Amino acid sequence: MISNKRRYVYFFLIILISMILIPLLSKNRGEIVKNLNIKTDVKTFAETGLSFVFHDMETEKIIHVDIIEAVFRMLAGEMPPNFHPEALKAQSVAILTFFLTHDSSKNLINASKNWVSAVYRSDKNMKDRWGEKYNENREKLLSAVNEVKGKVLNFNGKPAKTFYYSMSPGCTHNPYGEFRVENAPYLTNVDSHWDMSLPNFMNKFEITPEQLKNVIENKFPNTKFGKNPKFWVEHVETTETELVKSIKVCGCVFTGAEFRFLFDYSKFKSPTFTIKYDEELEKFIVITKGYGHGVGMSQWGANEMAKEGYTYEKILLHYYPGVEIKNVYELSKFDEIFLKNTNLVVNS
């Protein structure tokens, strides 16, 4: 649930390696935690000496944000405050876990910037959106974040790659394209039938032959189009979960995700779609299921599960089967997070 207003802050990824080199020389994990002055019994993350670093574009300053506050502000951009508390907790854990997996050595900086700038909410933004309910909504979201403070999803001693999105097409997809992650069996196809009863589960819209021709020619200028648009879409291959694996249009082949982003993705809501030419209307009819990429946790599915009595733990373990829920400091490879992660700094 990402707003189009991407103007408040851009994420500035840095890590003060010099401040952690000495602790990392120790082979004993207990000494590492001790040397970093990290407490495992905390009330707020400010007490741990850890914070996230942001580049505030409004003030042009580098700011250190307490982890609780940072997760709260991103939660405000990811889920409506009227979602069930257990869904909000599940999302909070997913946000913190995902945040810890960024590795600048693998060119995730730009993706991280876009994600943070899209979902991070300033006080002004929240007040504009919530109006008189600002204090009530802030309290509800902060309560959810505080109840799961420090909780992350662990797989083999490291934070899991907790992809999430708005609404599934009835089940989650196996990883594809940019969502393929090594050693991540928890990113797999699971049932998410809860989404199917939601009002906006299916979306239908039209594409004129001229529109389709223009977007294809923009990518492949030498494409030849036949006189009858009925035959332009030559082949569509789908997975067992109905994800469009590939679509061939006048000899040009795209993945479902690539084809989706040729158009307005607020209408073309999912790479799980059908496309047919209506000869009477003389237009292509596209029907999508769900909203978003479909890998990992469905936010609306999580909310529906919570309404049925599922706890945040059960929600997370359903969408990420095989992971464990642990405190971030219990990760066996805790020190490696600081070697590869550029989101955290240790306050002096």
Is 243 contained in some domain? yes
Do 328 and 279 lie in a common domain?
no
- Domain shared by 109 and 35, yes or no: yes
The answer to whether residue 177 is domain-embedded is no
The answer on 119 and 26 residing in a single domain is: yes
- Same-domain check for residues 26 and 149: yes
Residue 126 belongs to a domain: yes
Dist CA 86 CA 95 (whole Å): 14
Same domain, 13 and 137: yes
Domain co-membership, 160 together with 26: yes
- The answer on 117 and 33 residing in a single domain is yes
- Residue 264 belongs to some domain of the structure: yes
Q: Residue 168 and residue 201: Cα distance in Å, rounded?
A: 8
Neighbours of 346 (CB within 10 A): 18
Predicted pLDDT of residue 13 = 34
Domain around 23: 9-164+324-346
Which of 242, 264, 289 is the endpoint of a domain? 289
The bridge status of strand 244-249 relative to strand 9-10 is: unpaired
Q: What is the pLDDT of residue 158?
A: 87
**Residue 3, in any domain of the structure:** no
Q: Are 347 and 51 in contact (CB under 8 A)?
A: yes
pLDDT of residue 68: 83
pLDDT at 216 exceeding the cut of 70: yes
Reported as type and span, the H/E element at residue 302 is helix 299-307
Domain count, the chain: 2
Q: What is the DSSP string of 192-235?
A: -GGGGGSTTSEEEEEE-HHHHHHHHHHH-TT----S-GGGTEEE
In angstroms, the CA 269 to CA 280 distance is 25
- Lookup: tokens for 196: 């199917």
Alpha carbon distance 238, 274 (integer Å): 10
**Is residue 339 in some structural domain?**
yes
Residues 272 and 154 in one domain: no
Question: What is the H or E stretch that residue 154 is in?
Answer: strand 151-155
**Residue, of 41 and 109, whose pLDDT is higher:** 41
The least confident of 69-83, 90-104, 268-282, 328-342 is 328-342
In this structure, is residue 185 part of a structural domain? no
| Confidence (pLDDT) at 79 | 96
Share of the chain above pLDDT 70, in %: 71
Read off the pLDDT of each residue in 260-272 and give the average, rounded to a whole number.
93
Statement to judge: residues 36 and 146 lie in one domain? yes
Residues 111 and 232 in one domain: no
